[in-house]
């Protein structure tokens, strides 16, 4: 049984082919520069997907597309409608389209990927898995903004949260590592990659998260500012004459680590700091401090925290960030062990100091695997509901 996972963006299609049960990766790749000039670039998503399928069959990974058990698609924004993965039909496509204003950089590319896959593989069940879905369990006090109520009623302005696939995956893996049922654990999960978000998870369900209506809110990221006084954009408009689109680009693409010190890649930020660059040192200091604030806030939200989970490229690899994000928190039951924290292992592991009540875990995330698992479960459920074909 083979399953294809697609992460289709505005100019790239990432793909991974899994064999399920026991699960293994058969083939993975990316078609990028879609729509860009140049003789070798794919003209559009249709041609890009053609290259994906050609690679899968040329390499012998699949016989023909019809033999796929299913295709799982990553979709960034599912709004309030999608609380779990869904089999794709015309209604789903319309709903993803309707969410474009909330995720103008992501949903159009996601949608194009689904459309070409549906057209190319009409008989293969396809499932959309949403980054927002895991956070749909947040209570109203966490997801509402303190704005006039009619703005929510008319425009659905609220916190949605993202990286849900990653938070859900590491939460489940954390439960496995600790040998506890997921529904018994309170967790703070920290996904620290190019984008970054924190989630408060009570008994397996997300009850708060740092990203908001869009992925701009919350932690400091590679190029996004995260939390900001909402008056700043208006002040900047008046002070610099920039229009709303330019300010949006400034906050999303020129801010965060890049804005503070000129480098958005954390490894480069460390290199510069080690070389005596004070703005790079400030960037790391601010980055860790912002994480600490969320750990404190979510400790208060949850009351009892069983484990803190670090994931994403920075969360998995950056011992200094983990150490500084957790330093001086013994009174909250949180402390990392220097030696365990410094070990470069790629395996999921515990790094808390002995005797501390809060486990501190490092768990490599795997969003494609999570999409694959959710896709299989969704297809099985829908086949069960329809009866055998």
Query: Are the beta carbons of 220 and 196 closer than 8 angstroms?
Result: yes
Question: Across-strand partners of 308?
Answer: 188, 360
CB of 166 or CB of 375, closer to ligand ADP: 166
- β-sheet bridge partners, residue 350: 361
90 is written with which tokens?
């015309």
Choose between 164 and 222: whose C-beta lies nearer to ligand ADP. 222
CB of 193 to ligand ADP, least distance (A): 3
Residue 59, CB-side half-sphere exposure with 13 Å CA sphere: 12
Task: Determine the distance from the C-alpha atom of residue 26 to the mean position of all C-alpha atoms in its chain, rounded to a whole number.
Answer: 23
Provide, rounded to whole angstroms, the least separation between the CB of residue 308 and ligand ADP: 18
User: Residue 182 contacts by C-beta under 8 Å, 6 or more apart in sequence?
Assistant: 171, 172, 175, 204
- How far from the centroid of its chain's Cα atoms is residue 230's Cα? 24
Q: Which of 158, 152, 168, 154 is nearest to 74 (CA)?
A: 168
User: Which residues are known to be catalytic?
Assistant: 131
* Shortest Cβ 223–ligand ADP spacing (Å): 10
Total Cβ atoms within 10 A of residue 64 = 10
Closer residue to ligand ADP in complex, CB, 70/226: 226
Q: How far is the CB of 17 from ligand ADP (least distance, A)?
A: 19
Judge whether 172 and 165 are in contact, CB under 8 Å: no
CB 371, min distance to ligand ADP, A: 14
Residue 347, burial from CB neighbour count under 10 angstroms (0-12, 13-18, 19+): exposed
Give min distance, CB of 72 to ligand ADP, in A.
17
Distance CA 35, CA 22 (A): 37
In the complex, the smallest distance separating the C-beta of residue 14 from ligand ADP, rounded to whole angstroms, is: 10
Burial of 90-120, coded b for 16+ CB within 10 Å and e otherwise, reads eebeebbeebeebbeebbbbbbbbbbbbbee
Q: Which CB atom, from 158 or from 224, has the smaller least distance to ligand ADP?
A: 224
Do residues 24 and 18 touch, judged by C-beta distance below 8 A?
yes
Question: Which of residues 248 and 317 has its CB atom nearest to ligand ADP in the complex?
Answer: 317
Cβ closer to ligand ADP: 306 or 366? 366
**CB under 8 A, 24+ apart: contacts of 258-266:** 258/222, 258/223, 259/223, 259/225, 260/220, 260/286, 264/194, 264/222, 264/223, 265/222, 266/222, 266/313, 266/314, 266/318, 266/321
Decide whether 11 or 120 has the Cβ nearer to ligand ADP.
11
User: What is the C-alpha to C-alpha distance for residues 133 and 84, in angstroms, rounded to an integer?
Assistant: 5
Contact residues for 128 (Cβ-Cβ < 8 A; gap 6+):
73, 75, 78, 82, 85, 86, 88, 92, 96, 110, 114
Residues lying near ligand ADP in the complex (CB under 6 A) are found at: 193-195, 222, 265-267, 312-314, 317-318
- In whole angstroms, the minimum distance from the beta carbon of 15 to ligand ADP comes to 15
Measured from the CB atom, the residue of 212 and 222 that comes closer to ligand ADP is 222
- By Cβ distance, which residue is nearest to ligand ADP? 313
């Amino acid at each position: 049984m083979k399953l294809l996972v697609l992460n289709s963006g505005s100019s790239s299609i990432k793909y991974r082919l899994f064999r399920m049960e026991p699960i293994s990766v058969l083939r993975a790749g990316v078609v990028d520069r879609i729509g860009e000039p140049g003789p070798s670039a794919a003209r559009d998503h249709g041609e890009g997907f053609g290259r994906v399928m050609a690679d899968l069959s040329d390499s012998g990974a699949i016989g023909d597309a019809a033999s796929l058990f299913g295709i799982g698609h990553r979709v960034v924004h599912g709004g309030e409608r999608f609380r779990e993965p869904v089999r794709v039909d015309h209604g789903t496509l319309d709903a993803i389209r309707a969410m474009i204003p909330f995720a103008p950089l992501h949903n159009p590319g996601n949608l194009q990927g689904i459309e070409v896959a549906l057209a190319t593989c009409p008989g293969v069940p396809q499932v959309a898995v949403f980054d927002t879905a895991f956070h749909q369990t947040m209570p109203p006090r966490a997801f509402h903004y303190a704005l006039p109520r009619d703005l929510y009623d008319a425009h659905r302005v609220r916190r949605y949260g993202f990286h849900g696939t990653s938070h859900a995956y590491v939460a489940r893996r954390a439960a496995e590592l600790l040998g506890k049922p997921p529904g018994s654990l309170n967790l703070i999960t920290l996904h620290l990659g190019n984008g970054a978000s924190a989630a408060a998870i009570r008994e397996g369900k997300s009850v708060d998260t740092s990203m908001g209506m869009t992925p701009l809110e919350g932690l400091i990221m590679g190029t996004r500012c995260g939390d900001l006084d909402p008056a700043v954009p208006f002040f900047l408009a008046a002070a610099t004459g920039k229009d709303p689109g330019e300010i949006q680009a400034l906050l999303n693409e020129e801010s965060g680590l890049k804005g503070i010190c000129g480098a958005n890649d954390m490894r480069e930020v460390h290199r510069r700091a080690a070389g005596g660059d004070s703005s790079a040192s400030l960037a790391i200091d601010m980055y860790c401090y912002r994480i600490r604030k969320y750990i404190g806030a979510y400790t208060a939200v949850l009351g009892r925290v069983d484990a803190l989970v670090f994931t994403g490229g920075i969360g998995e690899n950056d011992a200094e960030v983990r150490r500084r994000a957790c330093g001086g928190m013994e009174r909250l039951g949180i402390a990392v062990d220097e030696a365990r924290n410094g070990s470069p292992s790629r395996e999921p592991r515990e790094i808390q100091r002995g005797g501390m009540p809060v486990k501190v875990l490092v768990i490599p995330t795997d969003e494609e695997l999570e999409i694959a698992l959710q896709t299989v479960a969704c297809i099985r459920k829908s086949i069960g509901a329809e009866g055998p074909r």
